Structure 1
Amino acid sequence: MRHDESRALYDRALSVIPGGVNSSVRATRPYPFFIERGDGAHVVDADGNRYLDYVMGYGPLLYGHDMPEPVRAAVQSHASDGPMYGAPTEVEVELAEFVARHVPSVEMTRFVNSGTEATVSAVRLARGYTGRDKIVVMQGGYHGAQESTLVEGGPDSSRPSSPGIPASFAEHTIPVPFNDVEAAERVFEERGDEIAAVLTEPILANTGIVLPVDGYHERLRELTEDHGALLIFDEVITGFRVGGLQCAQGRFGVTPDVTTFGKIVGGGFPVGAIGGRAEILEEFTPSGDVFQSGTFSGHPVTMAAGYEYLKYAAENDVYEHVNRLGERLRTGIADIVADQAPSYTVVGTDSMFKTVFTREGPDSGDVGGAGEDSHVCDAGCRQDESCARYDYCPKNGADVANAETERWERIFWQEMKEKGIFLTANQFESQFVSYSHTDEDVEETLEAYKEAL
């Protein structure tokens, strides 16, 4: 493949955009390829190279790059009627009603403009509702570019993870390891009356896709209820991806007090949302005292896109299709990994997938293949205690960070790109199947995995 145009565009971008990109994850080595257009399950770059796309805008493109006709028509209609009004429109009510009908935790929704804005607002809401300041987060979790969660360290040694954030912000954030029940219990025993909320992704989806161990979220639900704190699920990535229209909370059977959304709820357009129990959401202004506002919130084009996007999924076999292909991909990759890189771990669920380049595996036992006699999770790690890999699969963000992250970025990603497969550019972010992907695309992808690994 030639990348002359992308290289030239990157050279221009370096002069006018910090680092040449507008989001850090796009800064691939030696330079990013610049997308010209999308086409179904593919993207085409500035040099005319065509790639099978599994980044899918980091999750929101459930249908790939071709919007279903009802979505396209709604977007065009609302865009032609006017860019925005500074006043409410009917379609934002319709989308809020749809979300409330399908997501277990949601009675009311406040729409905002990004996942980051949603989690910022949810943290403020939790503090205002409870009158407390402390927020418990998961090490390796990601909740957008906000001061309260850009924090690293442990429960007694939290510190900002980026320059520009005062240390005093980190004092109110308590990081604990995901899937560590004892750590959560210890924090609540010591500081339960100071904790406003536990903020967690139901699945760590920005750190290699780590599912919860059995009973973990249930215990978080008990701890927050016992101590008068809120449980907030960040479903910016898992929302309307995992568990279908009920989201991951419906899949796991654990109902949080508040849920944050982004991505798919706006049909791929800029959006975020905070949903939850009415008595909590009504603490937002103007019905309550917790300030939250935004000029572009509930933008009519975004609301129309999101409403038609989710309605189409409700009325068609979208989840059946994407989940079947996701399972087929994970099963196929698991077979390849067992044969060529047995220490690696295949992760994911529903239409999400990833291969974590873990460094260790079982010393003995039949762990080859993905058949029912292989004693391993056959379509991605499920945190199954009976699995021969259970002690070696990632349980938290630190486990993923200890994988061969450089090998993924410097070698594997580059090899897959040259084979026409567009994956997320590092070891951490999730990858996604869309409604536009086909069985033939899966076969092509598995052949590329065989050669690249």
Structure 2
Amino acid sequence: MNHDASRSLYDRALSVMPGGVNSSVRAAPQPYPVFVDHGEGGHVVDADGNRYIDWVCGLGPLLLGHDMPEPLQAAVQSRAAEGPMYGMPSDIEVEHAEFVCRHVPSVEMIRFVNSGTEATVSACRLARAVTERNKILVMQGGYHGAQESTLVEGDADDPKPSTAGIPQAFAEHTIPVPFNDPEAAREAFETHGEDIAAVLVEPIQANMGIVYPVDGYHEHLRELCDEYGSLLIFDEVITGFRVGGLGCAQSEFGIDPDITTFGKIIGGGFPVGAIGGKTEYIERFTPSGDVFQAGTFSGHPVTMAAGLETLQYCAENGVYDHVDRLGQKLREGLSDIVADHAPEYTVVGSHSLFKLVFTRAEGDPQGDPCRNGCRQAPGCGRHDACPKRGTDVTRAETDRYARLFRPEMRERGILLSQNQFESNFVSYGHTDEDVEETLEAYKMAL
């Protein structure tokens, strides 16, 4: 493939944007990113005219793929034609909120914002106000946006900022514990429980290689929060309306969180975030309560129309059956390929999420209990070697993926996530032929 146009654009971008990009992960591909010209269904075409099967899907928002179905396109065009935005309420905000509250079990009220980061920032502020406590318990390797309360590394005894620009005093209000470790969570509560405002957790760690919860883990967190009077916040920015259909991952796992954060799919491919939950908590936001939260572009009419039409289309057109079936076909196909060509690697994912983590496991390949993606099943022969938390993925062969494997897949016409940590996503625009071509490329590249 020729990549001259992408190279030239990157060269220009380096002079006017830090790292040549507007979001850090986009600079990860070696030696420079593909610059996209346009999308078509489950494919994108780059600035050089190269066509790829796209499993990045905007890093998650494009559940329907790059082609907007006619009802969605009509709704977006109609709202845009009526005026860019108003700074005042509109009917579509109410309709979208009603739809979400009808379908997500724990959501009684919702506040729309502009990004997943804004949603988690607001959720942490809300939890602190409700409980009159300061500390937020998070999972090591979890990602909750570019915010001071969660850009923290270390452990419960020694938390520290994971980036320059965050005071150590901020990090001291965050308690990182290992995901899938019930005892570590309980020990943190026994030490700090009187000052823990909330547990902030992804139902599935989907930004660090896709790590599934062990049986009973979320139930344990729910019990700890109830015991100590803390709030349970589910970060469903990635899993929301992708895992568990319209009920989201919380319905899949049967958990009733106090607060849920959303992003990506809830905006139908346009900038969005949201904080939903129990009425007694969400109505603490101003103007009904005392927790300040506001935004010029919140509830943007084009985003609200796109989000509502996307979810309605999913409800009426078998979208989840399609994407979940292709996701399973990819994961099971990858499990077969890996067993023959790279048994030390681990296939992970659920529903329409998938990933091949370049783990360094020894012994048997993944067994039948985890053939459809690692499920932390004790009956799997390589249970002890699979990733139990996102931080485990940092010990995988991340350089091999970035420098050799992903570029090879790109040259074969397959775009995968930019690094070993981000998920790959299936869309309604993908086909069985796309899956078969992708599996063949994996086989050749491995």
TM-score (norm. length: structure 2):
0.99
Q: Considering only aligned residues, what root-mean-square deviation do their CA atoms show, in Å?
A: 0.8
Tell me which amino acid in the other structure corresponds to 1:187: A
**Sequence identity (%):** 71
Q: Distance in 2 between matches of 1:302 and 1:143?
A: 21
Structure 1 Cα separation of the partners of residues 106 and 139 of structure 2 = 21
Aligned residues of 1:147 and 1:169 also touching (Cα < 8 A): yes
Amino acid at match of 1:242: V
State the Cα distance separating 1:33 from its structure 2 match: 1.3
Identify the range of structure 1 (422-431 vs 381-390) with the bigger mean alpha-carbon deviation: 381-390
Letter in 1 for 2:245: G
Stretches of structure 2 lacking an aligned partner (at least 5 in a row): none
| Runs of 4 or more above 3 Å deviation | none
DSSP-derived class of the 1:109 partner: strand
Match of 1:390 among 367, 383, 389: 383
SS at match of 1:358: coil
CA distance in 1, matches of 2:144, 2:154: 16
Residues 206-285 of structure 1: pairs in structure 2 closer than 5 A: 206-285=207-286
Residue of structure 2 equivalent to 1:404: 397
Contact 1:359 / 1:403 at 8 angstroms: preserved in 2?
yes
1:169 aligns with: 170
Is the aligned partner of 1:18 residue 2:3?
no
What is the letter of the counterpart of residue 381 of structure 2?
A
- Specify the alignment match of 2:151 in structure 1: 150
In structure 1, stretches of 5+ residues that fail to align are 369-373
Q: Deviations over 1:361-388 (max 9, x none)?
A: 33x5xx47xxxxx544111111111111
Return the alpha-carbon distance in structure 1 between the equivalents of residues 318 and 92 of structure 2.
24
C-alpha distance in 1 between matches for 2:62 and 2:56 = 9
Aligned to 2:65: 64
- SS of 2:354's partner is strand
CA–CA distance in 2 between the matches of 1:168 and 1:52? Answer: 45
Residue 247 of structure 1: CA displacement? Answer: 0.4
Q: Is 1:420 aligned to residue 397 of structure 2? A: no
Find the aligned partners of 1:36 and 1:361 in 2 and give their Cα distance: 42
Q: Conserved in 1, the CA contact under 8 Å of 2:398 and 2:420?
A: yes
Provide the rounded CA distance (Å) in 2 between the counterparts of 1:22 and 1:333: 32
Maintained 8 Å contact 1:337/1:344:
yes
Q: Please tell me whether residue 74 in structure 1 is matched to residue 75 in structure 2.
A: yes
Letter in 1 for 2:442: Y
Q: For residues 45 and 438 of structure 1, what CA distance do their matches in structure 2 show?
A: 20
Aligned to 2:384, the other structure's residue is in SS state coil
Q: Take 1:304 and 1:341, find their aligned partners in 2: how far apart are those partners?
A: 45
Distance 2:340 2:436 in 1: 17
Q: Write out per-residue CA displacement over residues 311-340 of structure 1, whole angstroms, 9 at most, x where no aligned residue.
A: 010111100000000000000000000000
Q: Which amino acid aligns with 1:294?
A: G
> C-alpha distance in 2, partners of 1:96/1:376?
39
> Match of 1:111, as an amino acid?
F
Deviations 1:220-266 (A, max 9, x none): 00000110000000000000000000000000001100000000000
Equivalent residue letter for 2:65: G
- Partner Cα separation in structure 2 for residue 241 and residue 304 of structure 1: 19
Q: Provide the residue aligned with 1:371 in structure 2.
A: none
The residue type paired with residue 240 of structure 2 is G
Choose which of 411, 423, 428 in structure 2 pairs with 1:435.
Answer: 428
For 1:102 and 1:316, the matched residues in 2 are separated by 16
Superposed, 1:348-367 pairs within 5 Å as 348-362=349-363, 367=365
Alpha-carbon distance in structure 1 between the residues aligned to 2:87 and 2:373: 46
Which residue of structure 2 lines up, in the alignment, with residue 332 of structure 1? 333
Report how many aligned residue pairs link the two structures.
445
Q: Counterpart amino acid of 1:428?
A: F
Contact 1:376 1:389 in 2 (8 A): no
Query: What is the Cα deviation at residue 191 of structure 1?
Result: 1.1
Task: Give, as a single letter, the amino acid of the residue that structure 2 aligns with 1:14.
Answer: L
CA contact (8 A) 1:91 1:304 kept: yes
3-state SS of 2:190 partner: helix
Provide closer, same or farther for how the CA distance between residues 375 and 41 of structure 1 changes in structure 2, counting only shifts above 3 A: closer
Aligned to 2:3: 3
Residues 242, 349 of structure 1: 8 Å contact kept:
yes
Q: Is the 8 A contact 2:210 2:390 kept in 1?
A: no
Q: CA deviation at 1:98?
A: 0.5
| Alpha-carbon separation, structure 2, partners of 1:228 and 1:127 | 12
Match for 2:90: what amino acid? T
Tell me if the contact between 1:96 and 1:108 (Cα under 8 Å) persists in the aligned partners.
Answer: yes
The corresponding residue for 1:451 is 444
Q: Find the counterpart in structure 1 of residue 118 from structure 2.
A: 117
Distance 1:101 1:237 in 2: 20
Provide the TM-score with structure 1 as the length reference. 0.97
Deviation at residue 389 of structure 1 after TM alignment: 1.6
Q: Which moved more, 1:380-389 or 1:271-280?
A: 380-389
* Counterpart for residue 317 of structure 1: 318
